[in-house]
């Protein structure tokens, strides 16, 4: 996958998911410039490199332990880009040129077949990164990444990211840990598709996505039936029936776009 120009050709439409904003220091860095407008052809807008400061990069867990001077070097190599909703940031099969860190917004990682059927591999939000796989193995992009809300990205060129990995072991270790986590998630997804029925796959997805909040397990990311269907490999109608059944049995509770997860067994 590479950071091509497709994102320059798609219209802005109302957002589908909302994530919690990044810390205030990040917000101050991002909103120094006016937000993107609504021209006939929305574009991913780069911002001058000097507007990416150390405070912005500190918002990312990847740079939490990076020395100040090293982080200043990284900051000088970064660009800030704003992406319209439904813009494809990268596409499967493209050359790898950039690594992206999400400062604000929501993006889907997708794969599709020749008939246009799609599967959502993951949903990314603030603090996460994508595009690093192709940097490490010099292969083409393995999936498409599409913004599902207007998003703000920090962009690092492949050569600059490689230099950052060579000079900062803490960053390298973080990337290695994230790759291991993705491998574990892929193993779990394969197991689900092979061994569980649709209801079991939905239960496992909700359990995996739930976070502890105020003593409850809550799926904070807003998911529509269509998204869940793409993530578990089922039809939207089947997912709707499963969710309705889970709610009637008291296993889940939907409230203000969030799903509160009660006891769902041991899937």
Please tell me whether residues 31 and 104 are part of one structural domain: yes
Cβ count within 10 A of residue 55: 15
- pTM to 2 decimals? 0.76
Q: Are 150 and 88 in contact (CB under 8 A)?
A: no
Please tell me whether residues 51 and 167 are part of one structural domain: yes
The whole-number pLDDT of residue 215 equals 87
Please tell me whether residues 134 and 230 are part of one structural domain: no
CA 137, CA 176: separation in Å to the nearest integer?
13
The whole-number pLDDT of residue 265 equals 56
Please tell me whether residues 142 and 210 are part of one structural domain: no
Please tell me whether residues 234 and 178 are part of one structural domain: no
Please tell me whether residues 120 and 155 are part of one structural domain: yes
Total number of domains in the chain: 2
The whole-number pLDDT of residue 264 equals 60
Matching residue, tokens 């799926």: 219
CA 129, CA 182: separation in Å to the nearest integer?
12
- Identify the domain boundary among 185, 209, 231: 185
Q: Are 22 and 126 in contact (CB under 8 A)?
A: yes
Structural domain of 50? 6-185
Does residue 10 form part of some domain?
A: yes
Please tell me whether residues 255 and 172 are part of one structural domain: no
φ, ψ of residue 110 to 5 degrees: the values are -125, 150
CATH classification at residue 212: 1.10.10.10
- Identify the domain boundary among 156, 185, 214: 185
pLDDT tens, residue order, the chain (267 aa) = 444 444 333 333 344 444 444 444 454 444 343 343 433 333 344 444 446 899 999 999 999 999 999 999 999 999 999 999 999 999 999 998 999 999 999 999 999 998 889 999 999 999 999 999 998 999 999 999 999 999 999 999 999 999 999 999 999 999 999 999 999 999 999 999 999 999 999 999 999 999 998 888 999 888 889 999 999 999 999 999 999 999 999 999 988 778 999 876 545
Does residue 266 form part of some domain?
A: no
Instruction: Return the axis-axis angle of helices 225-232 and 198-209, rounded to nearest 10°.
Output: 110
Does residue 192 form part of some domain?
A: no
Please tell me whether residues 10 and 131 are part of one structural domain: yes
- Identify the domain boundary among 150, 185, 220: 185
CATH classification at residue 169: 2.60.120.10
Please tell me whether residues 172 and 231 are part of one structural domain: no
Please tell me whether residues 92 and 151 are part of one structural domain: yes
Q: Are 90 and 4 in contact (CB under 8 A)?
A: yes
């Amino acid at each position: 996958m590479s950071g091509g120009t497709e994102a320059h050709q798609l219209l802005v439409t109302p957002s589908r998911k909302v994530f919690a904003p990044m810390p205030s220091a990040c917000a101050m860095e991002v909103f120094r410039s006016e937000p993107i407008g609504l021209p006939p052809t929305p574009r991913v807008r780069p911002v001058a490199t000097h507007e990416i400061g150390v405070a912005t990069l500190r918002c990312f867990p990847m740079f939490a332990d990076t020395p100040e001077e090293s982080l200043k070097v990284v900051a000088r190599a970064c660009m800030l880009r704003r992406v319209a909703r439904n813009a494809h940031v990268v596409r499967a099969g493209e050359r790898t040129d950039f690594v992206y860190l999400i400062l604000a917004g929501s993006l889907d990682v997708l794969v599709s077949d020749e008939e246009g059927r799609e599967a959502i591999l993951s949903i990314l939000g603030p603090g996460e990164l994508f595009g690093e796989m192709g940097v490490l193995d010099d292969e083409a992009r393995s999936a498409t990444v599409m913004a599902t809300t207007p998003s703000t990205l920090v962009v690092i060129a492949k050569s600059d990211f490689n230099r950052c990995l060579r000079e900062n072991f803490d960053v390298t270790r973080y990337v290695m840990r994230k790759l291991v986590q993705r491998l574990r998630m892929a193993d779990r997804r394969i197991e689900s598709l092979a061994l569980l029925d649709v209801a079991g796959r939905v239960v496992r997805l909700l359990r995996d996505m739930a976070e502890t909040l105020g003593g409850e397990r809550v799926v904070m990311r807003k998911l529509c039936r269509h998204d869940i269907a793409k993530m578990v490999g089922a039809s939207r109608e089947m997912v709707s029936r499963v969710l309705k059944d889970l709610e009637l049995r008291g296993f889940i509770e939907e409230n203000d776009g969030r799903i509160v997860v009660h006891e769902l067994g041991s899937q």
